[in-house]
Homo-oligomer: A and B are copies of this chain.
Amino acid sequence: MSSKVASMRDAVADLVRDGDTVAIEGFTHLISFAAGHEIIRQRKRDLTLARMTPDLIYDQMVAGGVARKLIFSWLGNPGVGGLNAIRRVTEGPGASLEMEEYSHFGMVARYTAGAMNLPFFPLRSYFETDLPKVNPLIRPIDSPYGDGTVYAVPPLRPDVTVIHAQRADAEGNTQVWGLLGCQKEAAFAADRVIVVVEELVEGSIIRADPNRTIVPGIVVDAVVVEPFGAHPSYVQGYYDRDNRFYRDWDPISRDAALTDGWLAEWVHGLSGRAEYVAKLGEERVTSLRPSAPAPSGVVDYGEYR
């Protein structure tokens, strides 16, 4: 089986196409800012961006001009405020960005229906809310057992899903610990999958703990090794969430010119993530390392011959 290891530049160039529906998933944890920046850098256009929480990465991508539409369930900078670049193109009469909105469970259910090749997924949300009125894809469905009505959401099948993970082998067998979000569902739902990892490991490391594998190589098209590729998001056991960055983004993103300047300096002005990390500086990087290790312990699978 051949290696799928690729550079971020090649993976994005080969696998992300103008007009695609792209999901860079990861719920606060493991958000691939490195992939988002590369998509901006390569000036992809007319993308439909799907994410439960668009977060700063989609604020930057919308500011970078790659997006036509957002599919989401919570639009904000958690604990800080709004996503200001997105607000500029969604508020008032000049709103230009198309929006398709769900709740968190609705988005998870959409990915799950995609991952399971189901025509819909049922859930108890939405009844007596205004969400189905503004999103005609949220539809009522009667239980075939005569016990009432629930709502359904349709499958979400991204053209490309990007997930970040602690580690994978060269075939793309991928392991994650800490928050899992809906990364597994988003990956299985997609046509093409890019996995970005902190560390490339031997297959034997993966196979020593098969219960830890969340995505098998069979659904993965490219493995990109990009340490610190999730910053300012975080990677459990590797680095902390850079809350300072999340706070600093607020005043930058409130001003279109400052935002453009930031993109020029930190995205277009850099060749990739390695330069980004160098520019961030040793001190900042070091300050985000965990204060101490917290080892999982070992379990024994046993040899059975």
- A residues adjacent to B (C-beta < 8 A): 117-124, 139-141, 143-145, 147-148, 150, 152, 154, 166, 175, 177-178, 180, 205, 208-209, 211-212, 236-238, 240, 290-305
Given A141-B141, A177-B209, A240-B304, 14 more pairs with CB closer than 8 A: A120-B144, A145-B154, A166-B299, A178-B301, A209-B297, A212-B296, A237-B299, A237-B300, A238-B302, A290-B304, A292-B303, A294-B303, A295-B299, A296-B300
Q: Looking at the assembled complex, report how far the CB atom of A173 sits from the nearest CB atom of chain B, in whole angstroms.
A: 14
Contact indicator B148/A144 (Cβ below 8 Å) = no
- How many Å lie between the Cα of A178 and that of B290 in the bound state? 30
How many copies the complex holds: the figure is 2
Contact indicator B296/A298 (Cβ below 8 Å) = yes
Contact indicator B297/A298 (Cβ below 8 Å) = yes
Contact indicator A236/B302 (Cβ below 8 Å) = yes
Q: Looking at the assembled complex, report how far the CB atom of A112 sits from the nearest CB atom of chain B, in whole angstroms.
A: 11
Q: Looking at the assembled complex, report how far the CB atom of A133 sits from the nearest CB atom of chain B, in whole angstroms.
A: 16
- How many Å lie between the Cα of A296 and that of B162 in the bound state? 27
Contact indicator A119/B139 (Cβ below 8 Å) = no
Contact indicator A143/B120 (Cβ below 8 Å) = yes
Contact indicator A295/B293 (Cβ below 8 Å) = no
Q: Looking at the assembled complex, report how far the CB atom of A91 sits from the nearest CB atom of chain B, in whole angstroms.
A: 31
Interface pairs (28), CB distance under 8 Å: A118-B122, A119-B143, A119-B147, A120-B143, A120-B144, A120-B145, A141-B141, A141-B144, A166-B299, A175-B299, A177-B301, A178-B211, A178-B301, A209-B296, A212-B296, A236-B301, A236-B302, A237-B301, A290-B303, A292-B302, A292-B303, A294-B301, A294-B302, A294-B303, A295-B299, A295-B300, A296-B299, A298-B298
